[in-house]
Amino acid sequence: EEDPSAIISRFQRYLQIDTAQPSPQYAQAADFILSQARDLSLESQTKEFVQGKPVILLKWLGSNPELPSILLNSHTDVVPVEQEKWSHHPFEAHLDRQGNIYARGSQDMKCVGMQYFEAIRKLKASGFEPVRSIYLSFVPDEEIGGHDGAEKFVDSDVFKNLNVGIVLDEGLASPDEYYRAYYAERCPWWLVIKANGQPGHGAKLYDNTAMENLLKSIESVRRFRASQFDLVKAGLKGEGEVVSVNMVFLKAGTPSPTGFVMNLQPSEAEAGFDIRVPPTDDPESLERRISEEWAPASRNMTFELGQFKQKVSVHDKFGKPILTATDSSNPWWTLLEEAIRKANGKLGKPKILFGSTDARHFRQRGLPAIGFSPMANTPILLHDHNEFLNKDEYLKGIDVYVEIIKSYASYVEHTRKEASRDEL
């Protein structure tokens, strides 16, 4: 058995690479990942579908490479930090006396990327040999939508040739003792609404100012937000089952060297919203709501929906929700449940993730994808200040992956479902 402190220090080294958007140190991360791969004698391939944004693909060849393979995906980028609001430097990976490791990416999701490696290290040391081939992908730009990362990867011939049968990607920490697994997720819509209006004297009351037009929209958005949030608060729906709308920026006013001009009502005002649409919801009715209530032309408003420039959704081309089965029809689900139990972990009811991940790119290709990050007894701190993960939870998670990989890679029954997809 290897000394756990060596395992933790490898995790810390990965966390110490500043891969925060918007200028992630991808080259450094790639060097580190490739060095881990060499240590473990994994075959490696680096693809820059977009220059400077490496997708790193590693392979542990199975004894029956004809069988559909297993893909363990993780993203290498992290979200930005407000450094002065952290109690420890976000890229120091400080380990405190309770065993908590503080770093941006400690939960989202450098933990998972490194746990894949550590599980493979343990399996190799034990003499385990996979039947199915196992791939690890380390992809860039997840936090900005994955267009230059996972999206290009799944569209590539490289990906097609992997003959992937199941994808594991990130989930969320769980504050209780139950791990969580996710079979679907919401789709991000990044909405900017813009109000135009009559400019004029700051002291005059008149109709149709840009600010008033925008505020009417904001009031309407807030009523809708409250109605959705109430469903969650009442326990009628899960966080991943309602539409969330959160205002993330406001932009208006006429700048001056000392701040803003005060006695002028501006002719333009803008607001940005992070919206997430559940796979179980009808996206068209929301689109109508946006154009009729939140940004009506009749109120001199326009809007832009970033997501509609993208082709990846959580609905299929018929508008049906894309969900990964969590019953006996999906052997990978059953195997996951069993593996977690074998590792002495507990698994809660599967859910729809409230955030969005690269899993949707794989699911849209028709592949089953399960979101799973083995962190129990851990507050959900992704995208928050002071993101941390306890070292013992991290180490336990490695043993969970040992069981999962062992069982996935040894699963030989070629299901009818897999066979029929191969023919497509």
Q: Where in the sequence numbering do the catalytic residues fall?
A: 77, 142
What angle separates helix 26-39 from helix 4-15, to the nearest 10 degrees?
Answer: 150
Q: Which is nearer to Zn ion, 108 or 399 (CB)?
A: 108
* Interface of this chain with Zn ion, residues 141 to 200, rule: CB under 5 A: 170
108 or 241, CB closer to Zn ion?
A: 108
Q: Which stretch binds Zn ion (CB under 5 A): 35-43, 106-114, 307-315, 328-336?
A: 106-114
Establish whether the linkage from the previous residue to 279 is cis, with ω within 30° of 0: no
HEC string for 367-387: CCEEEECCCCCCCCCCCCCCC
109 is in the binding site of which of ligand MET, Zn ion, none (Cβ under 5 to 8 A by kind)? Answer: Zn ion
- Report the length, in residues, of the chain: 424
- Stretch 52-91: interaction string toward Zn ion, x if CB under 5 A: ----------------------------------------
DSSP-based three-state secondary structure for 199: coil
Beta-bridged to residue 1, according to DSSP, are: none
3-state secondary structure of 164: strand
Residue 75 annotated as part of some ligand binding site: yes
Q: Does 143 bind ligand MET (CB under 6 A)?
A: yes
Letter string b/e over residues 324-359, b meaning 16 or more CB atoms within 10 A of that residue's CB? bebeeebbbbebbeebbeebebebeebbbbbbbbbb
How far is CA 415 from each of CA 55, 243, 330, 422, rounded to the nearest angstrom? 30, 36, 9, 11
Residue 133 as a binder of ligand MET (CB under 6 A): the answer is: no
Q: Which is nearer to ligand MET, 76 or 357 (CB)?
A: 357
Alpha-carbon dihedral of residues 315, 316, 318, 319, nearest 10 degrees? 0
Binding residue for Zn ion (CB under 5 A) from 77, 108, 151, 241?
Answer: 108
Q: What is the largest CA-CA distance in the chain?
A: 80
Interacting residue with ligand MET among 130, 145, 279, 296 (CB under 6 A): 145
In 10 A of CB 163, how many CB atoms? 17
Answer whether 231's CB lies under 8 Å from 221's CB.
no
The interface partner of residue 188, options being Zn ion, ligand MET, none and the CB cut-off 5 to 8 Å by kind, is: ligand MET
Nearer to ligand MET, 357 or 390 (CB): 357
Q: Closest Cα partner for 361 from 291, 311, 396?
A: 311
CB of residue 276 to ligand MET, shortest distance in Å: 8
Q: How far apart are CA 123 and CA 370, in angstroms?
A: 22
Binding flag, residue 148, ligand MET (CB under 6 A): no
Q: Which is nearer to ligand MET, 165 or 371 (CB)?
A: 371
188 binds ligand MET (CB under 6 A): yes
Taking CB under 6 A as the binding criterion, the range among 52-60, 128-136, 138-146, 253-261 that sits at the site for ligand MET is 138-146
Structure tokens at 278: 């559940």
- On whether 170 is known to bind a ligand per the annotation, the reply is yes
Nearer of residues 142 and 399 to ligand MET, judged by Cβ: 142
Q: x/- site string to ligand MET, residues 356 to 395, per CB under 6 A?
A: xx--------------------------------------
Does the footprint of ligand MET cover residue 330 (CB under 6 A)?
A: no
Could you tell me which residues are annotated as the binding site? 75, 108, 143, 170, 383
Binding site for Zn ion (CB under 5 A): 108-109, 170
Q: Which residues are annotated as a binding site for Zn(2+)?
A: 75, 108, 143, 170, 383
